[in-house]
Amino acid sequence: MDMAFLSKLGKYNNAALLIMRLGLGFMMILHGYPKLSGGAERWEKLGGAMSHIGIKFMPVVWGFMAAITETVGGLFFLLGLFFRPTSFLLFFTMLVAAAMHLGSGDTLMDASHAVELCIVFLAMIIIGPGKYAVDKG
């Protein structure tokens, strides 16, 4: 492979951030919308995951917050709107999901999707949305 070609790819970092935001944001919306539309019974079950980090009150509220974070947060992430706060909320949601998997006796491989997204969203807090975003930060 031509190393000169590879060295020129760096000038497309903002395009790469856009591709990542569009892909991950869209997938978060798809992942979150069924939870959001599931209603209070689904939110209570989802919010029960907070018990794995020691929070055992108001599971319906926590479940709704997770569902709205995945759905609306996915849209905001896609657009690059309120990017760092949104990335933090998505990071925290995936952290709780990973804790739920691991605290329920699942293997690290069972929790890997949530763990991987934790890493990505944490990195995105630092990197920012790139120049092709509403926030342009």
Is the residue at 79 inside a domain?
Answer: yes
- Dihedral over alpha carbons 119, 122, 123, 128 (to 10 degrees): 150
DSSP, res 76: H
Mind listing the pLDDT tens digit for each residue in 31-61? 999 999 999 999 999 999 999 999 999 999 9
Total domains, the chain? 1
Q: Burial of 3 by CB count in 10 Å (0-12 exposed, 13-18 middle, 19+ buried)?
A: exposed
Is the residue at 7 inside a domain?
Answer: no
Q: What angle do CA 47, 52, 57 make, to 5 degrees?
A: 50
Is the residue at 132 inside a domain?
Answer: no
Question: Across the chain, what does the average pLDDT equal?
Answer: 94
Is the residue at 120 inside a domain?
Answer: yes
Is the residue at 134 inside a domain?
Answer: no
Cα(17)–Cα(25) distance, rounded to whole angstroms?
Answer: 12
- For residue 29, what are the domain limits? 24-127
Is the residue at 10 inside a domain?
Answer: no
Is the residue at 12 inside a domain?
Answer: no
Is the residue at 73 inside a domain?
Answer: yes
